[in-house]
Structure 1
Amino acid sequence: MDNINDQTTVPALRLPQQNGVPKYLLLRNYLSDEIASGRLEAGAKLPPEDALADMMELSLGTVQRSLRMLVDEGKLVRKHGTGTFVADGSTMMHAPFQHCRFVDEATGQLLPIFSKVVRRRAVKERGLWSMRLLAARPVCIERLFSIANEFSIYTHLYFDADVFPELATLDTEKLNGANFKDLLAREFHHPLTKFSEQLTVRVFPAYVCKALRLKAETSGAVLEIFAYDRRGEVVYFQDLYIPPNSRPLQIS
């Protein structure tokens, strides 16, 4: 989630009563339902924890436990010194992603990645992908990667629908949060054994700038990746448009 809007209005919150359910879980379920319904919009800033505790007539510890669960689930995001916000609906990648490993310098930990499909389309034009990927029916899946809800990356993944027909037809909602390298090996039994990468810096296309909420003609890093199987054949081509940011990218 980029450019969090501190001014997004939060509707009045009223915790329902339900016997036999622990209060922390009741609050967690209530806020989760409010987010799922859209009544709590992406980017909405929640009241401070003490104010939320007063509003819900709960202890501060109960509120903190509930919010911590929602942060862990990727439904809320905390911004240090700013507050707690509703995340943008992307799904966290649980399998490690090899090419997009940004590091929190304070802890040394890799930052979590949330992914969301923008669209899937048949490809008619040729491009860098077609130099090595021999695809009879090329398809491109475009996604947004949110890095710890701090900034986003735009990515295209090109593959052959004749080789992976399921990937070309699977409900795109099920692709949110998917690591395609892991998906190809686990679900489609097509493990990848080698990657070739190239990093350039150039001006982003207008639609990428718009999707990433950047100024027109913003320049940034573009990481281009060819993925190979054990036979040495190209399985897919992926590019990642990485905007200027303050996080180190681990490339080893």
Structure 2
Amino acid sequence: MDRLSSGGLVPDVSLDRTSPVPLYYQVATRLQQQIEDGSMPVGSRLENEVELADRLGVSRPTMRRAISYLVERGMLIRKRGVGTQVVHPKVRRPVELTSLYDDLLKSGQEPRTEIREIEIRPATDVVAEALGIAFGTEVTWIERLRYAGDEPLAIMHNAVPLDVLPLRREDLERSGLYDLLRSAGHVPRMANQIVGAKNATSAEGKILGESRGAPLLTMTRTAWDAGGKAVEYGSHLYRASRYSFELNLTS
């Protein structure tokens, strides 16, 4: 096991040269961990690739590939005349049955919610089909803007059947929807989820702090409790510059 301690912007990087995991990926994931835990704060400038490669004992192409990997993931940015800098790390969300509120808390970020709309209204065809209820059945419709700290991250639309949970603005402002569902005895156990992409409209870009046409990730989900009752339908938009879905695949 090789270990490098620096007095600069890479505090501590460990490499296992006996591991089948490629060296570039080991370097990238260690740097990613340091960005996410704040050891390498936003705005920090990395040493150049040649110096980092020499200090880590890896080839320059390996170091270049590791940095490129983090640039592609939105954690580093290259600026002409400045070098490579740390930027806001993306929120990485594992594709599992959790809520964005849960994931932000788990990653040490501070979720904040702005309730833009909450009302009881008849279910549309799409919502009714997803929830398995009759068209026109009343549901609680919510539009929320979710922040990570002070930065807008997602526009979230949800429909919840009235017989599942009575929802109040003040509860949604201080807690996540899934927390409220769990407290009401409707723990989400299964879900159908579709992830896609679109370009931001002018209105969406203004709300999320992005330009018109900026890439957004889309996610629609219907969740059921252990008894097979549909407890929520969601249609969400996420800033692709600050958010990604993560999948771990095995064969």
Most deviating of 223-232 and 205-214: 205-214
CA distance in 2 between counterparts of 1:245 and 1:127 reads 32
Change (3 A) 1:198 1:248: closer
* 3-state SS, counterpart of residue 233 of structure 2: strand
Q: Residue 176 of structure 1: SS of its match in structure 2?
A: helix
Aligned partner of 1:179 in structure 2 is 176
1:126 partner amino acid: T
Alpha-carbon distance change, 161 to 204 in structure 1, aligned in 2, over 3 angstroms: farther
| Cα distance in 1 for residues equivalent to 2:213 and 2:43 | 31
Q: TM-score, normalised by structure 2?
A: 0.51
Distance in 1, Cα, partners of 2:129 & 2:116: 25
How far is 1:159 from its partner? Answer: 1.3
- Contact 1:141/1:157 (CA < 8 Å) preserved in 2? yes
Contact residue 102 and residue 250 of structure 1 kept, 8 A: no
Aligned residue runs from structure 1 range 12-161, under 5 A: 80=42, 98-100=98-100, 101=103, 109-124=107-122, 126=124, 128-135=126-133, 136-161=137-162
Q: What SS class does the counterpart of residue 192 from structure 1 fall into?
A: coil
CA distance in 2, matches of 1:109, 1:209: 25
Task: Please list the CA deviations of residues 208-245 of structure 1 after superposition, one character each: whole Å capped at 9, or x if unmatched.
Answer: 33322333343310011111011222111112201121
Is the contact between residue 117 and residue 143 of structure 2 (CA under 8 Å) also seen in structure 1?
A: yes
What is the alpha-carbon distance in structure 2 between the residues aligned to residue 110 and residue 128 of structure 1? Answer: 35
**Contact map agreement 2:123 2:138 (CA 8 A) in 1:** no
Question: Contact (CA 8 Å) 1:102, 1:249: kept in 2 or not?
Answer: no
Distance 2:178 2:123 in 1: 25
Query: How far 1:81 moved relative to its partner?
Result: 5.1
Kept in 1: contact 2:153–2:243 (CA 8 A): no
1:202, distance to aligned residue in structure 2 (A)? 1.5
Counterparts of 2:122 and 2:202, CA distance in 1: 20
Distance 2:246 2:196 in 1: 16
- Say yes or no: does 1:190 pair with 2:186: yes
Counterparts of 1:205 and 1:127 in 2: how far apart (Å)? 24
- Which structure dedicates a bigger proportion of its chain to strand? 2
Structure-1 residue corresponding to 2:218: 222
Q: Quick one: structure 1 residues 197 and 119, their matched pair in 2 at CA, closer, same or farther if it must change by over 3 Å?
A: same
The CA deviation at 1:205 is 5.0
Match of 1:240 in 2: 236
The change in CA–CA distance for 1:99 and 1:127 in structure 2 (over 3 A counts) is farther
The structure that has the greater radius of gyration is: 2
Structure-2 separation of matches of 1:102 and 1:248: 13
| Count of matched residue pairs | 151
Cα distance between partner residues in 2 of 1:102 and 1:249: 13
Identity, in percent, stands at 15
Higher relative contact order (CA 8 A, sep 6+): 1
Distance 1:196 1:125 in 2: 19
**5+ long unaligned stretches in structure 1:** 1-78, 83-96
